[in-house]
Amino acid sequence: MKYAYYPGCSLESTARDFDQSTRAVCRALGIELEEIPDWVCCGSTPAHTTNASLAVALPVVNLQKARTMGAPVMTACASCYARLRTANYKVRNEPDTLRRTERITGHPYGGEVEVHHVLDVLVNHFGLRAIRAKVRRPLAGLRVACYYGCLLSRPPKIVAFDDPEHPTSMDELLASAGAEMVQWPMKTECCGAGLSMTHSNVVNRLAHRLLAMARKAGAECLAVACPLCQINLDLRQADAKKAHGEIPDTPVLYVTQLLGLALGLSSEELGLDSLITSAEALLAKNHIDTASVPEGTASAP
C-alpha cells in the first residue's frame, strides 16, 4: 500500500507529534508514505473565509503534484483533508470553478486524485482484522472517548467515509487495539476551532464542556484526529478548568499515538512527550509500558 503523503502546515509545527506518530504507525504496518514534493499550504480556514478562488487553487496545486506520483493522497490533518476533498468536489461539479482554477494554477485538473484521511486508510483500506493481527501491546483496560470534531464527517457529500452524526471508525480502530471505548453524546460537537486565538473564552467554555462530559461518561482520556481539536482540548485544558471548574487532568492523544502504543512503538517514536497534559501516569496505572516492544514478542493484555 502506497500513498502520496500530504502533511500540511500544522503537522510541521504545532502538531509534529501527529506527523511523527502517523509516519511511525504506517511504517510499523508496512504502509508506504511518500511525501508530496514541494507541497504548499492548503489554505485551511483563512483561504476559504476570504478568497474562494484561492481556497480551491491552493489544494489543487498539491493534488496536481500528487498526480505525477501515481498514488492516492493520504493526509492526517482534518482541516487539510476537508480542503483537499472540497477542492476535488468543486472542480468536479462546478465548471466555472474548474476553469478558474486551471487558469490560476496553469495546469489542467479534473479532480481525479483520490484523497483519504489516515483513519479511512487504517480502517477501510488496511483493515481492522489486519490491525488486530499486528497488536503487540493491547490497550486493555484503558477507557477512551473518541472525539471526531466537526470536519472528519461533515459535510457528508464531500468527506463521507463515516456516519456524519455518529461516526465510529476511530472507536472501531482503538477497540481493535484492545482499548475500552466509552460511548458519549458529544463526539462531533465543536471545540471552538480557530476561535482559540481570537475568542479564547469561547474555546475554554466549549473545551470544559467536552472534557467534563467525557469524564462523566467514564473516559480516562480522549482520542482525536485533528491538530486544532488536540490543541484546544490539551493546551487550553488548564485555562478551561480555571474558568469553569475543576475536573481531573485528561490526556488528549492523537489516535495514531494510541494505536502506535498498541503496535509496540515507544513513547519517543510517538512523540508522547509533546502532550501538555501528560499521559504517563494514566498509562502506568493501566500497566501500559511505553518502551518499544521487540519484533516477534507481545505484551500480556
Exposure string for 157-170, b = 16+ CB within 10 A, e = fewer: eebebbeeeebbbb
- The DSSP bridge pattern shows strands 252-254 and 32-35 to be unpaired
> Does 230 lie in the same domain as 154?
yes
**3-state DSSP assignment of residue 4:** strand
> Does 112 lie in the same domain as 246?
no
| CA dihedral sign, ordered 179, 182, 185, 190 | negative
**3-state DSSP assignment of residue 5:** strand
What CATH number corresponds to the domain at position 194? 3.40.50.11810
Query: Is this model's pTM higher than 0.95 or not?
Result: yes
Asked if residue 297 is part of any domain, the answer here is no
Asked if residue 296 is part of any domain, the answer here is no
> Does 254 lie in the same domain as 154?
yes
Among 50-54, 204-208, 268-272, the least confident range: 50-54
Q: How many domains does the chain have?
A: 2
Asked if residue 290 is part of any domain, the answer here is no
| Percent above pLDDT 70 for the chain | 98
Indicate the burial class of 75 (C-beta count within 10 angstroms; 0-12, 13-18, 19 or more).
buried
> Does 247 lie in the same domain as 104?
no
Range of the structural domain that residue 135 is part of: 127-285
For the stretch 129-170, pLDDT in tens is 999 999 999 999 999 999 999 989 999 999 989 999 999 999
Alpha carbons 82 and 134: distance in angstroms, whole number:
29
Quick one: which H or E segment has residue 222? Answer: strand 221-224
Cell numbers at 295, concatenated: 519484533
Indicate the burial class of 61 (C-beta count within 10 angstroms; 0-12, 13-18, 19 or more).
buried
> Does 102 lie in the same domain as 140?
no
> Does 111 lie in the same domain as 10?
yes
> Does 83 lie in the same domain as 171?
no
**3-state DSSP assignment of residue 151:** coil
For the stretch 10-68, pLDDT in tens is 999 999 999 999 999 999 999 999 999 999 999 987 887 889 999 999 999 999 999 99
pLDDT band at 298 (very low <50, low <70, confident <90, very high): low
Nearest to 117 by CA among 233, 222, 224, 199: 224
Asked if residue 106 is part of any domain, the answer here is yes
> Does 164 lie in the same domain as 141?
yes
Asked if residue 24 is part of any domain, the answer here is yes
What CATH number corresponds to the domain at position 97? 1.20.1050.140
pLDDT reported for residue 198: 80
